[in-house]
Structure 1
């Protein structure tokens, strides 16, 4: 009888140990040891107000979903993101959200994540090896370029001299917004591009660039590929006393841009829904981390914002 009791006790102990091992394995397979999904986020540059808005959205929806975030700022450099993804891989994150600093330069981040079998979701901008990305969340930047240039062409009644302030050369948003800008200009031969140059999404750089342009020519409009640069142009024009004679438009509809439209300075902007983009990026990363199937391309439409419809967008 004693033998039977000993054998039964031993079997019970083995079952308990095996159950504990199984439970620990499940926890690690689905995130951290406390069962949380762990997602790494690589931002292109947190000096940019729109990217700060993206971070706010990602943090909000990660918190409501019980997701643990590990965040890094690339400071506008692809090489920073490359070293940062190595850290995320070492920390065994369950998924990565990448806001690429550069279309080609940030492609290595995707290669490394794919090699480590970690789902990677790009947001806002794309990479050159997009076929290796698990999913993309963003908006059609060609469409944004078309919307802003069409509006300018209408305001100019099809003729005039304009300046185009580009985003960072090689950034996918810059490439696609330029494509959209230029496709519209083909239909308006009397609109001439008098100057165009990058200001790297920076308000300060756009201010200095516009000041330089104004020394040598008159511009009927300035088409900036984001609001930060548009606001820099507005400041330069205002200081030179030329704001009333020059149309300025941007993209993103950041709060400062909406306030500028209300004040009669910025002519218009193109709304990009950063809250929806952040929410969708978290939702897709969460599903991918759990091994669920996700949609590859997830696009949120742009919308033109003028003084007439400002109330729909201003909180």
Structure 2
């Protein structure tokens, strides 16, 4: 491997902060940790290795990455994987900015990338609609730009997409629950933030399946904004209303874990709960027979592939219109396959 001469810069338009409220079990009110404490997902036994020719065409390649919200564990895993993978190239500089859950910051960060004259931009979008503007800023400046880990409303603006299809995640989890209930029963849906890319598409996927099951009733469907503590409070309220709930469908694992916390505290252990992302805490919960299932979003692979694609675009190469990283269903019988390798 070539000697590592690359510097990886973590910054926002001001400063990257790593909040611990979303992405672990701690409440959102905890003191933020500095960006350097973003932890890498434990590596698989065989780490991805770039070819020697991947970044060879240009003397130096500068890549800008604007992330939706690095306080989200799945996003942090993805960005950290990109950082570690990029270090393997001796002529690549990766600048990672934290959008901190606001489209305005991601737009401003793209404007900053243009001012810095980067060679390619990766957007992990927070807002489905507003991030089209962020991408257009790069296009207008002649900088190749694409999205990773989430789609935007107008995909014609960007070069490609690297990631999983959130619509498919919604269909997978809802179909699993529909089969488990035998096609009838009462469910509640715990949503991500209103208008956010992943939440919009996952909800669309859920409802596309529900159209085939008229005997499945959605009693409540409300956002908990990806946060475990908010989802716990939401579920506590629903329990107090005395609703007969047969299953819980959550847009992500953090919220699913919060839902299970509320159910367990109320002495309810027979209501199946499913989430999306395959974070370690959820995988362990599935293995212990608590959460019923999770849908893995392979954030590590997405991050690594995004760097390969950015380098190709910076070198003027043609890329595919989509690089799909499939979701995978995690159940108690296979959960060990999804635990970090020690």
Say whether 1:284 aligns with 2:309.
Answer: yes
Tell me, what secondary structure is at the counterpart of 1:250? strand
Query: Aligned-pair distance for 1:36?
Result: 2.5
Query: Aligned-pair distance for 1:254?
Result: 0.7
Q: Count the aligned residue pairs.
A: 282
Tell me, what secondary structure is at the counterpart of 1:122? strand
**Of residues 221, 225, 234 in structure 1, which corresponds to 2:247?**
221
- Cα distance in 2 for partners of 1:240, 1:132 equals 48
- Cα distance in 2 for partners of 1:125, 1:298 equals 12
Contact 1:125 1:171 in 2 (8 A): no
Structural mapping, 1:119-130, within 5 Å: 119-130=144-155
Q: Which residue of 1 aligns with 2:14?
A: none
- Cα distance in 2 for partners of 1:261, 1:212 equals 24
**Of residues 218, 226, 230 in structure 2, which corresponds to 1:201?**
226
What is the TM-score of this pair, normalised by structure 2? 0.80
Query: Aligned-pair distance for 1:153?
Result: 1.3
- Cα distance in 1 for partners of 2:214, 2:336 equals 34
Q: Which residue of 2 aligns with 1:185?
A: 210
Contact 2:161 2:322 in 1 (8 A): yes
Gaps of 5+ in 2: 1-56
Which stretch of structure 1 is more off in the superposition, 285-294 or 153-162?
153-162
Tell me, what secondary structure is at the counterpart of 2:87? helix
- Cα distance in 2 for partners of 1:313, 1:135 equals 28
- Cα distance in 1 for partners of 2:193, 2:170 equals 15
Tell me, what secondary structure is at the counterpart of 1:245? coil
- Cα distance in 1 for partners of 2:270, 2:218 equals 17
Tell me, what secondary structure is at the counterpart of 2:281? helix
- Cα distance in 1 for partners of 2:68, 2:233 equals 23
Q: Which residue of 1 aligns with 2:262?
A: 236
- Cα distance in 1 for partners of 2:110, 2:208 equals 36
Gaps of 5+ in 1: 1-29
Give deviations 1:202-241, integer Å, cap 9, x for gaps.
Answer: 1122111111111112311110011111111111111111
Q: Which residue of 2 aligns with 1:143?
A: 168
- Cα distance in 2 for partners of 1:151, 1:280 equals 29
- Cα distance in 1 for partners of 2:73, 2:245 equals 27
- Cα distance in 2 for partners of 1:45, 1:203 equals 15
Larger Rg: 1
Q: Which residue of 2 aligns with 1:302?
A: 327
- Cα distance in 2 for partners of 1:129, 1:145 equals 20
Give deviations 1:175-227, integer Å, cap 9, x for gaps.
Answer: 22112111212222221100001111111221111111111123111100111
Contact 1:162 1:191 in 2 (8 A): yes
**Of residues 26, 34, 44 in structure 1, which corresponds to 2:68?**
44
After TM superposition, where is structure 1 displaced by more than 4 Å over at least 4 residues in a row? none
Structural mapping, 1:1-315, within 5 Å: 35-66=59-90, 67-216=92-241, 217-242=243-268, 244-315=269-340
- Cα distance in 2 for partners of 1:276, 1:246 equals 32
- Cα distance in 1 for partners of 2:160, 2:300 equals 18
